[in-house]
Structures are given as C-alpha cells and as structure tokens.
Structure 1
Amino acid sequence: MSARRTELAVVAALALIAVLAWALVPTYPNYDAYYHLAWGREITGGHLPTFGAYQAPTEHPLYLALCAVLGLVGEHADRLLVLLTCLCHVAFTYAVYRLGTAIWDRRAGLAAALLAGSSFALLLYAARAYVDEPFLALVLWAAALEAERPRRGGPVWVLLVLAGLLRPEAWVLGGLYWLWVGPRPRRLALVLVAPVLWCVVDAVVTGDPLFSLHATSDLADELNRSRSFSEVPGDFVSFLADTARLPVAVAGVLGALWAWRRREGRSTHVALALFAAGTFTFFVTSIAGLSVLPRYLTVPAVALCLPAGWLVTRTRWLLAVAVVAGVAFVVVRADAFGKLATELRFIRSTHDDLSAVLHTPQVRAGRRCGAVTLPNYRLVPDTRWILDATQRQVGSRSARTRTSGVALLLVGDKLLRRYGFADGASPRTNAPPDGFVRAVRRGGFTAYVGCP
C-alpha cells in the first residue's frame, strides 16, 4: 500500500471514530451556533435573520448559510452540525500532518498532528459546534496546499475566501498571500471578496454594512470583555499556552528557534504566516475594543504545534524526553479527561432537561398567554431552536422583559453558575415574576406560568 493510501486509510478510521463518538456521546451546539441555526431557520422561512436580537453573537456568513441548509433537515440539524464540526476536526488534523510533512518530513507531520488534534480545547470546540473547527480546517488545508506547491494559487485562494467568511483572520492571511504570490491589482479582488460579502450581508439584513463590527464592539463593552492594551500581552501568553498546552507551546518556541538556527525546513514561511496573522488579528481586536477571547488564538496555537512536532522527532533522546514529558503531563493532568467527560455529560443533561420542560403540557398551555423567558440570554437561542420559536416568542428577563407567559428558573449550583448568571445581567432575574405560579419542574428547570 502506498504512503498516501495509508494516510487516507488512517483518516477514514479517524472519521469513523469521530462518527461513533458523536453517536455514542451526544452533545449539542454552543450559544453562537444555536443562534446561527435559529437565523438559518428564519432565512428558510422567508424572513431576514434577527442579527439585532438582545446579546446576539457576531454573524458569520458562511456558517449562516451552512446552518440554513442544515435547517432544512428539521429539528435534528443541531446534532448534524456537531457531526460536521467533529469531521472538520479530523480534516484539520490531517491538514496539520500534511503541512508538517511538507515543511519537514512525515515524522514531524505526524507528531504535529498528534499535538494539535489532541488539544482538549479544540476537541471541546468540535463537540460544541464552534465555528473555529471548519475555519481551522479551511485555513490549514490552504496552508498545506501552499507548502506542498508554493504559489499554487487557485485552490489556496478558494479556501482562504471561504475561511474569510467564517473568521477575519483569513483576511490577513489573504493579504499576506497576495503579497507573496505577487501583488497584482487583479488578484486584490480575491483578498477583498470575503470582507465585501460580509459587509453586503450586514447591509442587506440591518442596513449597516459594518454592523458586525459595531455590534461586536458594543457587546464587548456591555459584557466587560474588552481589555486595555496593557493587559493583552499577558492574555496572549496565557491563552496561547492554554490552547496549545504549556509543554507544547514551550516546545514550539524552542523548535522554531532551533529550526531557524539550523536552516531546516521548506516553506517555513507558511507556518510563520499562520502565527503572524493570528497574533496580529488578536492584538488588533483588542485595540478595536472587541472581545478578547482564547478562541481568537487557535491559529497561532496550531502553528506552534508544527515546530514542536519537528523538535521532538529530531533525535532519539529528544523523542524519549518528549514521551516522558508527555506521560508526566498526562499523569499530572489526568483529571482533564474526566473533566472533559463531565462537561459533555453536563451539556447533554442540560439540553435534555430544557427540552423536556419545554415540551410539557403546562408549558405549552402557558405559551398561549405569552413568551417564554429565561433569566438571561445564555439559553435563549437553544430555547428558540427547540421550540421553533421567533425572537418575540422567547426572551430574557435581564433585558427587562416583563410579560405574561412562561418564566423558566434554574435550579442547581453548576447550572446556576453556567446559565443562571451572566455578565451584564442581574442575578435577581432567576426569580419568578410577580403573579406567576409554579407549574412544572424537569431536572434543573422549573417553569412558572402567568396568565392575565
């Protein structure tokens, strides 16, 4: 069997494992993804998506289109979206292998793929249908194709344009690629197509072509997620170490310095561009007053896995040290596996309890009197998706929504910490409004009903 066929067989096996894990350990999308599913349902229903909803996340045009298509399947589109992001994680991991192989060799590529693909942060992103997973798959495949054949053009441009409709980091990568292949005016259109399409979507839906920028900035201020520039370097280091894992991040820095000193590697500019573009976007995001989150450093974190993979495969003693360090890290962080499993069970039980209480006869009857409200914005998109409800039919009491209908209250310490309280929202909202009476409880959710 040829080397490429062996690779594809391994990838197929990993994809099968991902499908089995998805089927056996059901999880559900995160807040942003559920909003995109709800917006996609509005589009297929012939309506403009409600980007301006209270505390709504930033829209991502390509993810919005994908969710609209998946929404045609019906109520199980949320689970299909998770399956897609799990398969994107496999595709992204294979791309890291191809990129590491193109820069150094198969051993380095395999080590880099293992380091990147096993990141707990990225595995959780896959299990929660974060937009980061398809974005990483597109960007890393663009990088791998470019490293394998420099100045390749066509397919690299297509992948970068698609990635640019998911996250703005790809705009920077597109600009760098334009400079690399030759800054001809005709090619500039390829750099601009993603940001222009993003602005077009915003303009059509809201009338403001820069709505995503303005809304994201306002939301960051409202949720206190913006940072002063003096805080950003510290956040950069800690976020990068957390996403890549500290030993991997250190090995990545040391590997990059050693590879540069020894002048080893082909197309090393590709890995450098990935790290530089992600770092640049992270700092610009803070300067612009937008949210500063660990997810914004996924590309630099993955870029560090490349020289880390090369470093541990250079000599037998380095490989031995890496294995010992890896085993020690796993022993020290053995609880991470348990925490991941606990988190996935919590996600599933929360979704099941919410669905159960929303489908009780008492809640169905209460909905005839008015909207379903929650303490804050955190579970609003989930509820909208489960009920196939509009923005007016599901609301948040932290938005000072006072209405008749159904008020959901949360019970239990972990549920309260995760969903009962939120930045910018009063904890008093997890109390029944005046005149509402207790109707039913399912798991951690209690429904109160108020009818005129």
Structure 2
Amino acid sequence: MHARPIARATAAAAFVAGALWLLFDGGSVNYDAAYGLLWGDQVAHGSTPEFVVPLAPTPKPLALILGLVLTPLGDDAATGLRVFSFLTLGGLAVAAFACAAAVGGRRSGVLSACLVLTSVPLLSFGTRGYLDVLFVALALAAAWCVARDAPDHHATVALAVGGLIRPEAWALAAAHVLWIVWRDGRAPRVVLAVAASPVAAWLLCDLVVTGDPLWSLTGTRANVEALGRDTGLGALVTTAPRRIGEIVREPVLAGGVLATLLLGRPRPDRQTAALVALGAVSVVSFAGLVLAGSPVIGRYLLLPSVVLIVLVSGAVGRVGRGDGPAVLLAAAAVLGVTVLATPAQVDRLTGVRASLRAQTAIERDLEMIARAADRFDACRPITVEGHRQVPVVARELGVRATAIRLYRGPTEGLVILAATDRIRRLAALDRSVRPTAGGEPGASRPVAMTPSWVLLKRC
C-alpha cells in the first residue's frame, strides 16, 4: 500500500474508534486483559508474571507485551489499553470494508463494516479489550495482502503478530508458507523464520515462566474443567454453530445461500478465494484446538464469523438485474429476513450499550476502591468477592495475585465487596463462579465506598 491509502485507512479506523468511544463511554478492561496488564507490570518491576494462579486466563504473549509497554502510564495503563482496543475495533471495520469492497465493490464494503459494527458479540468483545478482535483484523489484512499480490512479508508479519494471540494463526501462517512454496517452489528463509516465531515465542514464554512449554494448553484444560465450559466433539458440533449464529445473526445466515450462488461462478476471484481459504483453515484449526481441550466460546469463532459476514456482503454487492431467478430469490430472502430481524437487533444493541456502560462504571469504581485500599497498607490480607476482581486489585495495590483471598465469610484485613445485589450480579460475569452473597458482620467497618463497591476494614 502507498502512503495515501494507509493514511485514509488509519483515519477511518480512528474515526470509528472515536465514535464508539463516545457511544460506550470508553469501554472497559476484561478479565483476560486485566491479567495482561498485571503481568506486564510485574515484568516491568523485575518479578515473574503470575501465570499459575487459579482460573488465570491463557497467557497470550502479546497481552504480556502490551501490559509491559503500557506500564509506564501508571494508573492510566488501563485507559491506554482501552484506547488500543477501540482502535483495534476500528481497524477491524476498515479491514472488513477493504476485503468486502474487493469482492463486491464499495457498497459491499460499507455493508460489511456496518454488519461488523452492529454485531453485539463483536461490540462486546471489542469494547472490553479482548485481543481476539485484533487477531481477526490481522487475519483479514493478511488475506487482503495475499489477494492483492503484496510482498509476502506483509501477510507473514500480520499472521506472526496474530500468532501471539491465537494458535489458529499458526495454521494460517503454515498455509501461507505452503502457498508460497506451491507458487515459487520454495519459501525464503526469512518468511519461514517469521512464520515460526510466534510458536517459538509462546513455548519459550511458558517454559521460562512455568517450567512447562505447554502450560497454555494444560492451564486452559484445567480452566475448562473448573468452569464447566463446553469442549470436545459434541460441543464442536452443537455449540459452535450456535455461537457463529449469535455473532452474524439471521440476515448473514440467510445470505450464505446468495454467497454460494454468486461467488463461485464461473470461478472465484482471488479475494474470494483468499477469504474462503482463510475461513476454512480457521475452522479446521479451531476444531483441532477444541478436540485438544480448548473451550467452544464465541470469541474463538470470531474469525470464521467475520469471514462469513465479508463474503455475504460481497455477494450482495454483486446482485444485478441480469441474474437468474435463483439469485434474485436468494437476494429477496436476505432482504426479507433483514426487515424481520431488524427490530430485535435494535433491541439487542440498546441492551448491550446499557450493559457495557454499566460494566465500565463498575470497573472504574473497582480501580478507585483499590486505590483507596492502598492507604491501609498495614492492614492485610486483602479479600475480594470473586476471582474477576483479583488482577485489577493486585495491579492497583502492587501485590501478588496469589496474596489476594476470595471471600468465604467474615475475615480479618481489608475486604472489597459489591455495594448492591445488582452490582454483584453484573460483576459475576461467569455464571459458574458466583461470588458469595451477603455482607460482613458489624465488626468490620466501611472505610471507603463507591457506587459499585465498599471497602471494609477489620485490623
């Protein structure tokens, strides 16, 4: 790409990010991202990151790197991560636009970006700092580069960065290398080295920190069992299609027929072929991970879902009066389903906006109450209601995550409890791990309070 298209794409991503920032009050930092900030802070201060903590998320190398880079911001590190997350969501919209426009023209690009930005799960993940959204944007960028016959290292670097987020990128990088070998007879050593680098980095990171190069796999399996999440062949067959449907919704599912009729004749163009290959490899690699013990959750299926959105958008842009009755009937079906599904989707978007804004307020109140607890550094231990509060409190207080206890009843030290039952329900995002209801007895006195949390002290 030349400088001008890059500048336009960057400006568009920033504009989308800014609009979403205003709409969702700046978003929040999810549990996984909060641990990334904690790990980066720990490395910056010369200590070993705590990967081996009960219910800690899978340690993505890029999450640690981002946490390390943002640590100099101090109390504003979480804000820096939120800004990065919104820019990532804007970048995904731009990547979806570019790929769909290459298939069906600018109208397809606009439709694809709109569908991405009105997908409730995508908005939820993107505004809460999940790096999976960045992985999808990088994968789409790689497919666009391959279709445009850009230098091989462009797609290779994009997939290498994505490989520090999701293992599916390893399979995508391998497929890209095989394509280069098929095309040229060999792959340059630099391309091979860059393609393999995220695998080596992930294994080395796990080995250095935990002594087990496969800790991410074994730790994920342990969390799946502890949280009771769906995994295995049965979940792959029954749960995965439902999760994709929740992301793309009814109009895109109906548009699958239209895409099949239009995009494969007489033979798929290069952008369509790259997207189909991207979706196929992502599904196969995800299936392999699930069979190895990974859970079937929505954000792991974002890539095939977004690929489907882009392909359907591209197909819509190709519909013309000269098409046969089957194509026109499929297009009419998509239009009809869209009209019928729109009211429900508007309700979902209204609900997710209210929910995400509430989560934002709860998270920022937790940061405030943790800073208030820092005034009582002689009063220990520190107890919180649920495991989701652990990384935020640990980072704000500069303590190890393992030093923070989970509330199981009246206790000495500092206790951070939800201020109301409503906050308690919203804070318990994982229904498998409910925080304990109820409050502390009168022996503990409140020393700080926000609308969401109360700090109790008994020392």
Structure-1-length-normalised TM-score:
0.88
The count of aligned residue pairs is 444
Q: Does 1:31 align with 2:31?
A: yes
| From 198, 211, 222, the counterpart of 2:202 | 198
Task: After TM superposition, list the pairs within 5 Å mapping 1:43-62 onto structure 2.
Answer: 43-62=43-62
CA distance in 2, matches of 1:85, 1:365: 31
* Structure 2 SS opposite 1:83: helix
- Counterpart position of 1:442: 450
Cα pair distance change 1:364/1:94, threshold 3 Å: closer
C-alpha contact (below 8 Å) 1:19/1:83 kept by paired residues: no
SS at match of 1:379: helix
Q: Which residue of 2 aligns with 1:155?
A: 154
**Deviation readout 1:50-90 (Å, 9 max, x if unpaired):** 11122110111122112211111111111111111211122
Give the distance between the partners of 1:230 and 1:420, measured in 2 at CA.
27
Q: Quick check: 1:38–1:384 contact (8 Å CA) kept in 2?
A: yes
Distance 1:430 1:336 in 2: 31
Residue 291 of structure 1 corresponds to which residue in structure 2?
295
One-letter amino acid of the counterpart of residue 15, structure 2: L
SS where residue 79 of structure 2 aligns?
Answer: helix
Unaligned runs of 5+ in 1: none
Distance in 2, matches of 1:113 and 1:334, equals 17
How far residue 203 of structure 1 moved from its aligned partner, in angstroms, is 0.9
Determine the C-alpha separation between the residues in 1 that align with 2:91 and 2:375: 46
Distance in 1, matches of 2:441 and 2:284, equals: 47
Once the two structures are TM-superposed, the CA of residue 225 in structure 1 deviates from its matched residue by 1.0
Comparing 311-320 with 262-271, greater Cα deviation is found at 311-320
- The corresponding residue for 1:300 is 304
How far is 1:222 from its partner? 0.8
Tell me which amino acid in the other structure corresponds to 1:250. Answer: A
Q: 1:116 to 1:262 in 2, by over 3 A?
A: farther
Task: Map Cα deviations across residues 298-336 of structure 1 (whole Å, 9 max, x no partner).
Answer: 110011012211222233576777566445432232212
2-structure distance, mates of 1:21, 1:111: 18
Q: In the TM superposition, what is the alpha-carbon distance from 1:130 to its structure 2 partner?
A: 0.7
* Deviation larger for 225-234 or 68-77: 225-234
Q: In the alignment, what sits opposite 2:324?
A: none
Check if 1:230 corresponds to 2:238: no
CA gap of 1:50–1:11, structure 2 versus 1, over 3 A, is: closer
Aligned partner of residue 409 in structure 1, secondary structure: strand
Partner residue, 1:374: 384
Instruction: State the Cα distance separating 1:204 from its structure 2 match.
Output: 1.1
Structure-1 separation of matches of 2:112 and 2:238:
25
> Matched residues in 2 for 1:17 and 1:424: separation?
35
Deviates more, 1:251-260 or 1:61-70: 251-260
Q: 2 CA distance for matches of 1:75 and 1:253? A: 50
Question: CA 1:428/1:335 → structure 2, altered by over 3 Å: closer, same or farther?
Answer: same
Q: Taking structure 1 as reference, are residues 276 and 351 closer, same or farther at Cα in structure 2, changes over 3 Å only?
A: same
**Residue type of the partner of 1:405?**
G
CA deviation profile, 1:194-232 (whole Å, cap 9, x unmatched): 111100111111111111111111111111114342232
Q: What's the counterpart of residue 255 of structure 1?
A: 259
- 336, 340, 357: which is aligned to 2:352? 340
Match of 2:211 among 207, 223, 243: 207
TM-score by length of 2: 0.87
- Taking a change above 3 Å as real, the CA distance of residues 192 and 356 of structure 1, as seen in their structure-2 partners, is closer
User: Contact between 2:70 and 2:80, CA under 8 Å: does it hold in 1?
Assistant: yes
The answer as to whether partners of 1:28 and 1:127 remain within 8 angstroms in 2 is yes
Partner in structure 2 of residue 146 of structure 1? 146
Which segment is superposed worse, 319-328 or 368-377?
319-328
Residues 9, 231 of structure 1: alpha-carbon distance in 2 compared, 3 angstrom cutoff: closer
Conservation of the 8 A alpha-carbon contact between 1:367 and 1:406: no
Q: 1:384 maps to what in 2?
A: 394
Residue aligning to 2:269? 265
Structure 2 CA distance for aligned equivalents of residues 420 and 115 of structure 1: 29
1:91-170 map, 5 Å: 91-149=91-149, 152-170=151-169
Change in CA separation of 1:292 and 1:414 when aligned onto 2, cut-off 3 Å? farther
Return closer, same or farther for 1:39/1:430 CA change in 2, 3 Å cut-off.
farther
2:160 and 2:428 map into 1 onto residues whose CA distance is 39
2:406 to 375, 391, 396: 396
1:218 is the counterpart of 2:222: yes
Matched, 1:177 2:181: no
CA RMSD of aligned residues (A): 3.0
Distance 1:323 1:74 in 2: 50
The residue that corresponds to 1:414 in the other structure is 422
Residue 325 (structure 2) aligns with: none
